[in-house]
Chains A and B, each alone.
Chain A
Amino acid sequence: MYKYIIRRILVFIPMLFALTIIVFGLAKAAPGDALTGQQLADPKVNPEVYEQQREALGLNDPIPVQYWNWLSSAAQGDFGKSLVFNGRSVAELIESRVANTLYLGLFSLFITIIVAIPIGIYSARKPYSLLDYAATGFGFLGLAIPNFFFGLIAIYFLAINLGWFPAQGTLSGPGVEGFAAFVDRIHHMVLPGITLGLAGTATYMRYMRSEVLDVLGSDYIRTAKAKGMSDQNVLYKHTLRNALIPIITLMGFEIGVLLSGAVITEQVFQYPGLGTLFISSVTNRDFPVVMAITLILGILILIGNLLADIFYSIIDPRIRYD
């Protein structure tokens, strides 16, 4: 098992390496650079000045040289300075945002699980019941509505009209501390969390329903019943663990889905996480920040997949990595 994990982590390195090459190439292929915007906004400044700055920042070097410079310092843990945010270091910028995104992702995953799994189980036990049809309807709706659109509707009704939840940000003010701050954070995460988790909730609900239905019809469930096991035992012991096996696999990909979904959701709710930073960095051609965020997302997705594989082997004894 440990050998397997170490081997998997070693495989991460070439994958991340390839990822940086692709993202760097794409970023450079986009027209303009970090200074283009400033130049357009303030055409009176002598273009010479910008040229000097470009030269100083190394933006005029050939792309492979720029990549090499970035890579060699990144490998030493130095992701450089932002080209836009008054030259603040990339590490510092990301540090201020990454926790917010992780909280939002975990919160959304939590909502997804506590909503989707029980409803999925219920739907499977009482197929074609009223609640099953309602869940099916909700499932299709949840998958069909785009993230940002649902976010806007939620803001309009729940934040503006009803005023139940804040429409943006992470905290009401700088003065909140301790447990109150925790509650306040959760309160701020409700709308973006639901928005972000909507599609996932719909997906998991449908998966759970079909998996439980599938397992309930299997031979070993009949055996368990023939042994005289109670309904609760059959459902929670014999059915659930088997039904969760494919769900776990799906969860591995979910981290990637959540993070990419967060880019849009955070933008809608002006939630100060990696997503909003990523969008502003892309529009401003702030390459060092874009590269660093991509790398972090890449690592998180790979870790997600690795975790899924590990859980997979814990829950299903037929899977062994030796």
Chain B
Amino acid sequence: MSNQPVLNVDSLKTYFYLDQDQVAKAVDDISFSIYPGETVALVGESGSGKSITALSIMQLINKPGRIINGTILMNDTELLKLSAKKMTKIRGNDIAMIFQEPMTALNPVYTIGNQITEMLRKHKNLSKSEARIKAVELLKTVGIPRAEEVIDEYPHQLSGGMRQRIMIAMAISCDPTLLIADEPTTALDVTIQAQILDLMAEMKEKFQMALLLITHDLGVVSEYADRVMVMYGGQIVEQAPTKKLLRDTKHPYTKGLLDSLPNLDEEVDRLGAIKGAVPPAHDFPSGCRFSTRCPFVMDKCTQSNPELQELEKDHFVRCHLYDNGGDTLD
């Protein structure tokens, strides 16, 4: 891993201005870096702000949402300062994105080939026939059988797994330096999930990309991620290399997520669950945003929101439990 990050996000805030002067702080002061060749997992429940973080990087936030603060540096280019037109040259070319729902992510009225080649023609200035040859090649790379025929087929003729492969083929088509995958396997069968994740890992190696993997599946995290960022209420609450995070969990929320996973080694009657739901982004509790659901809640927690602190090297936690330099969760 080189020291120069491919992507550096600093103090990013994306707020949604709702009716009646309500502001949903979907992403509230997030900073992180992604290094070349690294797989970083962004973990959290629905509504924690993972997808909005990804869409903010892509600058695909729709009204009433707005990026109100922060810098997003990509190889020394400040993306937030680029014109809308210049940003279209970054999207798909330098940063590619794969979405959750392969069934609806492809345009139903155009052929697969049409949808892949339009990218190659825009970003790589290929001619029609060159782009087609390259598209067939890409389809073969992502393991699509009958690639020469599939290229002239429409999305509805393919299965969900196949469509997600097509999305991956599109994403890697222009050799991006960063691939963002927003819950790429959530909508797929369990058997297909592993295939798709393996394919993404393989493509990452082959094309030397960095991967930002958004997921709520800690099983996926443990297998594929180098580093994990846990998000809650629009903020990062814990960040550490994967092994460290799983072995030495610091934040009560991360612990809650891990306890809710079945474990083959232990016999338990009931799986753990975090009580309640993520508070809505326009109505966070005062103090720590997790305080309403935290089993370790203290007076302090309802009064002030803790800062993200580095407990050990590379292990960051946002929790008052560690304010006095101390202890573990157990």
Contacts and interface: CB of A to CB of B under 8 A. Distances in A.
Interface of A: 218-220, 222-231, 233, 237-238, 241-242, 245, 315-318
Given A219-B105, A224-B107, A226-B92, 19 more contacts: A220-B104, A220-B105, A220-B106, A220-B108, A223-B99, A223-B107, A225-B60, A226-B91, A226-B97, A228-B90, A231-B84, A233-B118, A237-B118, A241-B109, A316-B109, A317-B111, A317-B156, A318-B154, A318-B156
Contacts of B58: 225-226
B123 A228 contact: yes
Contacts of A225: 58, 60, 91
Interface string B106-132: 111111000000110011000000000
Most chain B CB atoms below 10 A, which of A227, A241, A242, A316: A227
Given A228-B88, A228-B93, A222 B122 contact: no
Contact of B88 (A222, A229, A245): A229
B170 interface: yes
Taking residues whose C-beta sits less than 8 angstroms from the other chain, chain B's interface range is 20 to 34
A218 B104 contact: yes
A229 B118 contact: yes
Interface string B74-106: 000000000011001111110011010100111
Q: Which 7 A-B pairs have the closest CB atoms?
A: A228-B92, A228-B91, A227-B92, A219-B104, A220-B107, A226-B97, A317-B154
Contacts of B104: 218-220
A204 to B, nearest CB: 20
A223 B122 contact: no
A160 B92 CA distance: 60
A226 B107 contact: no
B103 to A, nearest CB: 8
Contacts of A222: 60, 99, 105
A317 B155 CA distance: 10
A291 to B, nearest CB: 43
Contacts of B122: 227-229
Contacts of B85: 230
Contact of B108 (A230, A231, A318): A318
Given A228-B93, A228-B123, A230-B88, A223 B106 contact: yes
A125 to B, nearest CB: 12
B99 to A, nearest CB: 6
B109 A226 contact: no
A219 B101 contact: yes
